[in-house]
Amino acid sequence: MKVVVLAIAVFLGGGCSDLEGLGGPASALVTFEVVATGDLGPLRPAGISSDVSLQIALVWGAQWWTEPFCIVSAESDAVTAVTDAGCRDPFGFVPASVSASVPVTIGASASLALFALPSTDLLVGGISSRVGYASLVLYDDRDGDGTLGLSKSHPTGLTGRGPGQQDTTDSADIVYGASFLTMTAPDQRVAFLQGSFDAASAFYPREGCPEPPDGFSVLSAGGFSAAAGLAASTAGTLPSEDPASCAIQQQPDPLLISIAASAPTDVAEVSCTESTLDGTARYQEPPTDEPDFSGRVTACAGLPSLGGATPPNLTQLVVSGRSTDHCKGLSHYVLRGCAQDVSCAAPDWDLTGNPPSWWPCN
């Protein structure tokens, strides 16, 4: 009888449960404490008197090489003008994907939490040794979509191209700063490492600094000069950071990042994606009618060489983006060649004997 009473008590007394199953809130994988500093008033572009929604976005970086034209010695003032107008910082941070975005107030700390690891296409390296870096970007969400809009350059001659090569509109968002803008200035970057770190990795290198720890961390470095970076690239080595400028923050310590507000014209590139990541230039056939080059800077130049195969003895017309574009970029025209290889043996076009009447590079 006692057993029956006990069984009934157990049966009736149950029913309360702390089970969560597949529901319940997901815990953040990592949380960064971010502070934006500075006065945006004098930094706002003309015609902008207030912010729509000031936010901080975590932007994972892409592996990108600049095209050779932008780093070889300029052969003329005209070429220098084109590179100034059309080449982005060869050591700058290039965004690949925006991961998270939170509202922020200048001078107040904001918590930015990540609920997912960066996808593998954002990591560089093998499965046992891969790393990704991110920059925290301070921006005004002018279009109100809750995330940082990335933009692309606007090369000429995109009309009629296939999918993925159509011209796009610039984002209305205004960038005011980034924790990691370029390797030639002090930076604070978010790092995510899986496995061991490859010290020979040239993906946003920090030669001379301690290796990042496994998982999430915040790394600091003082930066190296552009001259040192180019010299190291020529020598096949990595430019060195000042070890005294290096720092690492890792969990469970708070991960603190500070972003100083800057003029949008100085930091806009951090939101500019690149269509071509491997440094190759896309060459175009000059059209019969002169393209609209208004607002762009043009120059005639030889084909650049970084010491490999000798390029064809051709003169190219290089065209910068428009001065009003959000992102810098270049367009290349040659009289003979193929789109992906100006040195191709069987050119897709050859106008060397009959160039268009407007062709300026004779």
Q: Which is nearer to another protein, 207 or 211 (CB)?
A: 211
The nearest distance, CB 22 to another protein, in angstroms, is 4
* Selected binder of another protein within 69, 216, 283, 333 (CB under 8 A): 216
Instruction: Give CA–CA dist 188/214, Å, rounded.
Output: 17
* Selected binder of another protein within 208, 215, 291, 355 (CB under 8 A): 215
The nearest distance, CB 126 to another protein, in angstroms, is 15
Task: Tell whether residue 164 is a contact of another protein (CB under 8 A).
Answer: no
x/- letters, 123..152, toward another protein (CB under 8 A): ------------------------------
Residue-wise burial string across 215-246, b where 16 or more C-beta atoms lie within 10 A, e elsewhere: ebbbbbbbbbebeebeebbeeeebbebeeebe
Number of Cβ within a 10 Å radius of residue 77: 9
* Selected binder of another protein within 2, 5, 21, 46 (CB under 8 A): 21
Question: What does the block give as tokens for 324?
Answer: 């009003």
Q: Kindly give the pairing relationship between strand 124-126 and strand 129-140.
A: antiparallel
**Residue-by-residue DSSP string for 86-103:** H---TTB--EEEEEEEEE
* Selected binder of another protein within 117, 232, 263, 314 (CB under 8 A): 117
* Selected binder of another protein within 2, 18, 42, 292 (CB under 8 A): 18
Kindly determine how many residues on this chain lie close enough to bind another protein according to the rule CB under 8 A.
29
Instruction: Give CA–CA dist 135/359, Å, rounded.
Output: 42
Instruction: Give CA–CA dist 299/281, Å, rounded.
Output: 16
Window contacting another protein (CB under 8 A); options: 23-31, 86-94, 146-154, 170-178: 23-31
Q: Which residues lie below 8 Å from residue 52, measured CB to CB, with a gap of 6+?
A: 140, 141, 142, 144
Q: Which is nearer to another protein, 27 or 310 (CB)?
A: 27
Which residues contact another protein (rule: CB under 8 A)? 7, 10-22, 24, 26-30, 115-117, 194, 214-216, 251-252
